[in-house]
């Protein structure tokens, strides 16, 4: 059977692409190598704990009053997700700067707190808010293909090619306030002097105006819900279907599975990165490999320790939703420390603060994460892999205990460790990098949107973290929608010609 579209991978980007195409009555087949949909947005059980692998803060879903794009698109398919608002409740610590602060409350409390720390924050921060709104509106206009930006969006033009650091300095934010804001976004994977201001501003807009939410249910429930609706709309998903090759035959694209089965379509949509596809699925294409594979800088990969603790978060004194420890408050300086195997950057999440029922009564889930800039894990051998994982997990737990004076070791009931190799193997990301290529310099979202048509490989599109809008479930979901809208437009244009 021939399909209109074949999608490789049922991660959030692939599911979103499939939903839009099936909704538009296209013959869609999704091929997924694993047994469940969702890719990184999945859940695993250990003892009495159910751990969500990745999604803790969902941006751009919004609420009934501040509806986000993901909520709006899902509504089209008659889908809704049950969510809980995430409070601003973050503890940030920096070793070099002797800085240890909790940023909490509503945005106004936040700004007051920043003012206490660095005078001049209130007025400059307030000036920044309309610029964030303008940039958000300019991006919407750009996605709709509008032109004429100079008149309607002067700040968008002014800051288009500036780094976040340059732009925030230009807007007169006190340097330390800039660094604190950089802290909040460092997990995107780029220091402020490299991260494009438009990408920074859009992320901040969503954070402040749409507010992040958490899922009331587990990660896997979201993925299963999207997959179920895709099938109700007539799309097909074949699980345990590992794609090993994409080739051209008689004006069709042919997708070959590891077991030799093949499927045909006019267009292939990949929910995996360009790097992976060009290196592994398109055979003998050295020109593409040279042009594409090495042209982008991958963002961070991470090492995660999932802990099930046998005490309530109140008894453990885990009062904050997120904890960050950095070596240095300056993201540019901090990122350099993340080239080393052992460093002091920690990010921790306590899902129970938002959702009491994230784990059984009187227990807590604590997720500890550290990030790596580059392929720091390349020297780990098969022989020392398990020992290294264990040593690093212990070091991370001790570092967290010392940083925040919170005892956790004696309360650990369940532990699961995921290295960059774990992520690489489970979803086929390059070097375990789950955040896609960094959005910086020549490769920010604007350049990606503007060059989408002229740089694309014929009949091969990409959705997900390494697509146009960068990582994060909201961006992966949106990319699936945006790219398929473009493909549907192209189809109807060709029909009209």
- What residues make contact with ligand FAD under the rule CB under 6 A? 8-14, 31-34, 39-41, 54-59, 242-243, 271-272, 302, 304, 369, 423, 427-429, 434, 464-465, 471-474, 476
Minimum Å gap between C-beta 40 and ligand FAD is 4
CA distance 96 to 107: 27
Cα gap 66→133, rounded to integer Å: 13
Smaller CB separation from ligand FAD, 32 or 399: 32
CB of 482 to ligand FAD, least distance (A): 13
Structural contact between residues 17 and 484, judged by C-beta atoms closer than 8 angstroms: yes
Cβ closest to ligand FAD, residue 60 vs residue 134: 60
Q: What's the CA gap between 257 and 264, in Å, rounded?
A: 12
Among residues 55 and 233, whose Cβ is nearest to ligand FAD? 55
| 239/341 with CB nearer ligand FAD | 239
In Å, how far from its chain's centre is CA 288?
26
Q: What are the CA-CA distances from residue 51 to residues 225, 350, 414, 462 (Å)?
A: 18, 12, 10, 29
Q: Find the shortest distance in angstroms from Cβ 161 to ligand FAD.
A: 25
**351, 367 in Cβ contact below 8 A?**
yes
Contact 440, 470 (CB under 8 A): no
* Closer Cβ to ligand FAD, 399 or 416, answer by number: 416
Residues 6+ apart with CB under 8 A from 59: 68, 203, 206, 207, 210, 212, 472, 473, 474
Least spacing, CB of residue 387 vs ligand FAD, in Å: 22
CA 9 to chain centre: 16
Residue whose entry in the numeric block shows the structure tokens 């003892």: 47
**Minimum distance of ligand FAD from residue 114's CB (angstroms):** 23
Label residue 190 left, alpha or beta by phi (over 0 means left) and psi (-120 to 50 means alpha).
beta
* Residue with Cβ nearer ligand FAD (202 or 474): 474
For ligand FAD, which is the closer residue by CB, 55 or 181? Answer: 55
Sign of the four-CA dihedral 221, 224, 230, 231: negative
Least Å distance, CB 203 to ligand FAD, is 10
Helix (H, G, I), strand (E, B) or coil at 293: helix
In this structure, what are the phi and psi dihedrals at residue 375, rounded to the nearest 5 degrees?
Answer: -90, 65
Smallest gap from residue 321 Cβ to ligand FAD (A)? 11
Closer CB to ligand FAD, 22 or 55, in the complex: 55
For residues 423 and 433, give the distance between their C-alpha atoms in angstroms, rounded to a whole number.
8
349-386 burial, b if ≥16 CB within 10 A, otherwise e?
bbbbbbbeebbeeebbbbbbbbbbbeebbeebeeeeee
Q: Nearer Cβ to ligand FAD, position 49 or 156?
A: 49
Report the distance separating Cα 478 and Cα 488, nearest Å: 15
Provide the 10 A C-beta neighbour count for residue 389: 18
Residue whose CB is less far from ligand FAD, 38 or 182: 38
Contact between 243 and 281 (Cβ < 8 Å): yes
How buried is residue 495: exposed, middle or buried, by Cβ count under 10 Å (0-12/13-18/19+)?
A: exposed
Residue 11 pairs with which residues in a beta bridge? 38
Is the CB of 156 or the CB of 469 nearer to ligand FAD?
Answer: 469
Are 266 and 4 spatial neighbours (Cβ–Cβ below 8 Å)? yes
């Amino acid at each position: 059977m021939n399909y209109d579209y074949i999608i490789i991978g049922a991660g959030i980007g692939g599911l979103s692409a499939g939903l839009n195409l099936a909704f538009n009555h296209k013959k869609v087949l999704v091929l997924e190598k694993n047994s469940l949909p969702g890719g990184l947005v999945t859940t695993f059980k250990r003892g009495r704990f159910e751990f969500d692998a990745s999604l803790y803060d969902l941006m751009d879903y919004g609420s009934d009053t501040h509806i986000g794009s993901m909520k709006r698109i899902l509504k089209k398919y008659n889908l809704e997700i049950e969510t809980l608002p995430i409070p601003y409740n973050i503890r940030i610590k920096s070793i070099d700067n002797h800085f240890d602060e909790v940023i909490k409350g509503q945005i106004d409390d936040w700004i007051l707190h920043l003012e206490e720390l660095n005078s001049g924050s209130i007025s400059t921060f307030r000036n920044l808010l309309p610029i964030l709104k303008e940039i958000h509106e300019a991006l919407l206009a750009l996605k709709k293909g509008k032109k004429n930006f100079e008149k309607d969006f002067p700040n968008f033009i002014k800051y288009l090619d500036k780094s976040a650091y340059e732009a925030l300095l230009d807007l007169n934010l006190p340097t330390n306030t800039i660094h604190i804001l950089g802290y909040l976004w460092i997990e995107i994977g780029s220091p402020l002097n490299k991260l494009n201001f438009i990408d920074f501003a859009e992320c901040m807009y969503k954070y402040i105006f749409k507010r992040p939410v958490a899922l009331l249910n587990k990660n896997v429930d979201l993925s299963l819900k999207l997959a179920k609706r895709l099938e109700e709309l007539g799309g097909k998903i074949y699980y345990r279907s590992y794609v090993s090759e994409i080739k051209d035959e008689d004006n069709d694209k042919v997708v070959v599975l590891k077991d030799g089965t093949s499927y045909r379509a006019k267009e292939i949509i990949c929910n995996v990165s360009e790097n992976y596809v060009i290196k592994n699925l398109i055979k003998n294409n050295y020109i593409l490999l040279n042009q594409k594979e090495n042209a982008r800088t991958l963002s961070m990969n991470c090492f995660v320790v999932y802990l099930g603790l046998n005490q309530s978060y109140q008894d453990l004194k885990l009062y904050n939703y997120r904890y960050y420890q950095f070596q240095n408050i300056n993201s540019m300086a901090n990122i350099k420390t993340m080239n080393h195997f052992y460093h002091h950057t920690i990010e921790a999440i306590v899902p129970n603060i938002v959702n009491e029922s994230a784990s059984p009564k009187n227990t807590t889930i604590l997720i500890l994460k550290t990030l790596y800039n580059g392929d720091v894990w390349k020297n780990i051998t098969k022989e020392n892999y398990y020992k290294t994982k264990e040593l690093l997990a212990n070091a991370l737990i001790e570092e967290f205990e010392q940083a925040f004076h919170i005892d956790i070791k004696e309360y650990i009931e369940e532990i699961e460790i995921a290295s960059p190799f774990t992520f690489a193997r489970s979803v086929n990301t390059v070097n375990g990098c789950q955040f896609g290529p960094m959005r910086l310099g020549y490769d920010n979202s604007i350049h990606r949107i503007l060059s989408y048509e002229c740089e694309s490989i014929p009949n091969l599109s990409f959705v997900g973290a390494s697509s146009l809008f960068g990582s994060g479930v909201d961006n992966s979901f949106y990319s699936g929608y945006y790219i398929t809208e473009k493909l549907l437009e192209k189809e109807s244009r060709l029909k009209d010609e």
